[in-house]
Amino acid sequence: MKSKDILAFGAHPDDLEIGMGGTIAKLSSNGYQIQPVIATLPNFVKTDTKNGRISESILSAKVMGCKSPIFLDLSPEEMVFGRKLVSMIDSIIKEHKPDSVFTQWHGDSHQDHQVLTKSVISACRDQNNLFMYETTIPGGITEHSFRPQLFVDIAETIEIKKNALECFQSQFVRCGDMWIPAIIGRCSYRGYQIDSKYAEAFEVIKITKW
């Protein structure tokens, strides 16, 4: 029987909700067991606290209908590509034996996102279905271009995605009132590309079909 377990990796709380919150909600409603994995707990502004970010992530997971996140709780100094991080991710993959793995886009401007995805790709050397979700918002401009190859229609779960993002009240100080509208706006554009109202897009690293 095909596994219905999925691992979704994010460097920080809210990364998953920004990039694939609607997809997580959709897959969860279709019977998939989604296990979020959060690598580190940053404090960008004074409103950020470790316990606060954990609480926001747990609440958001409930909204999306997935499992509570696994928090690796790595320090900034530990967010480096190497044997330690790859081994941690490898252990999680071996434990869950997922059908699919999602991680961040390797061209993202944030170094934590780059390190996480490089580590996930290395640990997923034997994984058949591996995808990268779109860069976080806000995010810097890089010399790379995201190439959407897989689109997921999230018209029916866009409100769940929005509600999940609203769990992260700590981020409104840093990101401003246009943070969520900007994220939803990108979903609208991706939906337009596939003749739907809303969608999320992914780059495919590896996929098995038929």
Cα–Cα dist 15/10, whole Å: 6
Cβ-in-10-Å burial (0-12, 13-18, 19+) of 129 comes to middle
Mean pLDDT of the chain: 91
Q: What is the pLDDT of residues 9-63, one digit of tens each?
A: 999 999 999 999 999 999 999 999 999 999 998 765 566 678 888 999 999 999 9
Model pLDDT, residue 46: 60
Number of domains in the chain: 1
CATH number, domain with residue 177: 3.40.50.10320
Model pLDDT, residue 1: 41
Model pLDDT, residue 146: 87
Structural domain for 166, as ranges = 5-206
Q: What is the pLDDT of residues 94-103, one digit of tens each?
A: 999 999 999 9
Cα–Cα dist 119/4, whole Å: 23
pLDDT band at 155 (very low <50, low <70, confident <90, very high): very high
